[in-house]
Structure 1
């Protein structure tokens, strides 16, 4: 009997892995964004009830391997997955793609958390947020001297000093250049997500001389096996699942 894999996803990388999985495996989504309809594996949407609920699920569903391919900033999900895997005595693997590195000409302002972001953008007037949904909870806090543009997956109402763009990467150099020039941004706010789907904004910031307020990555739990690319994961899964 083939060992069952629970793939924790919600990223483009995770979707690529999910497309390589057969029907006995499970792709888990937190519930944000679109649910893919072209997968052979099972798809589960929603939370597990913390680490304890996930540990129960692993036992009940006879999961033999947890593969964490969630976003690098989904620290709580990763922590729960590591704890649950240990409790259920199931191997915990993780895809941890490499962070971006500043290049010559970059002006990165490193911060920790939302309070750090607000402090770093205080001198600027036209801000492009590429953090995901978090700024949506703060649209009523936009200072009088600023206009925010928030790009995320969710359609959301803006107001006179805040606009929302619902868009999903990958983003091109040409598209990012047009966006930044049309928006007349003087600062970009980003997470150091790594990968190439959203990296174009950094190249355009470099080209236009825009500072980037960059949120540091949170600490993530160690995994028994860590991968940095999707292809590395796919290359080993076919051989490993028969021997877990």
Structure 2
């Protein structure tokens, strides 16, 4: 039996890769957002139980390659995947080769002339950076939802994330899914009268328009630094190169 591919996803780039996988391979999602229904490969939703649980899954399912195409800030699953692939295969399935660990490492955005980025680390750094401001747009995903009851009296937050959530007098939650256009971002910024933006340095083009609009409007951006990620045996910046490598692996195993 050929070694199978486990694609760890959840991003738009990962979905593009999943569309190129055949029925013997597996696309894994954490469970947030919509589950695609038009893929030839299997779709698995939910966690694995840490590195140990993932290692057992790799052995049981005869996985020969784990391709990490998770979000650049999903440091925990990346660390677990790297650890699981380093675990020797169990003797009961000796025909399965050592599991390879590859990763899509999307290039981060770089500040452009006119940008006002304030680099921060973690939630405490975000709160410190936005303290002088009153109209805050968060584009971090779900994390700010856990802090809506702690919005300072002088601030109003707008939180953009994938899923709907009730706001309150000092917070509004906007459920929206990229890609986002310049025109759409301009309309959002003008309606919200924001004076600061909070962002992860996700890279890619799907959500970059907010940075261009912040630059146009002279707005500061509290930019969260990327977490450290484990090294992979092969790392890709281009989705096209990653898809080609997956096809080559599948054809030769």
* TM-score, with structure 2 as normaliser: 0.95
Looking at structure 2, the residues matched to 237 and 71 of structure 1 have their Cα atoms a distance apart, in angstroms, of 19
The structural deviation recorded for 1:240 is: 1.9
Provide the residue aligned with 1:172 in structure 2: 181
Looking at structure 2, the residues matched to 193 and 106 of structure 1 have their Cα atoms a distance apart, in angstroms, of 16
Looking at structure 2, the residues matched to 92 and 188 of structure 1 have their Cα atoms a distance apart, in angstroms, of 35
- Counterparts of 1:146-157 in structure 2, within 5 Å, are 146-157=155-166
Query: Cα RMSD between the aligned structures?
Result: 0.8
Q: Is residue 92 of structure 1 aligned with residue 68 of structure 2?
A: no
Provide the residue aligned with 1:161 in structure 2: 170
Looking at structure 2, the residues matched to 39 and 241 of structure 1 have their Cα atoms a distance apart, in angstroms, of 17
- Counterparts of 1:66-215 in structure 2, within 5 Å, are 66-88=66-88, 89-215=98-224
Query: Structure 1, residues 53-99: CA drift from partner, whole Å, max 9, x if none?
Result: 00000000000100000000000000000000111431000000000
The structural deviation recorded for 1:33 is: 0.4
Provide the residue aligned with 1:240 in structure 2: 249
* TM-score, with structure 1 as normaliser: 0.99
Unaligned stretches of 5+ in structure 1? none
Looking at structure 2, the residues matched to 240 and 68 of structure 1 have their Cα atoms a distance apart, in angstroms, of 15
- How many residue pairs get matched? 244
Aligned residue among 225, 233, 237 for 1:224:
233
Kindly report structure 1 stretches of 4+ aligned residues shifted beyond 6 Å.
Answer: none
Unaligned stretches of 5+ in structure 2? 89-97
Provide the residue aligned with 1:62 in structure 2: 62
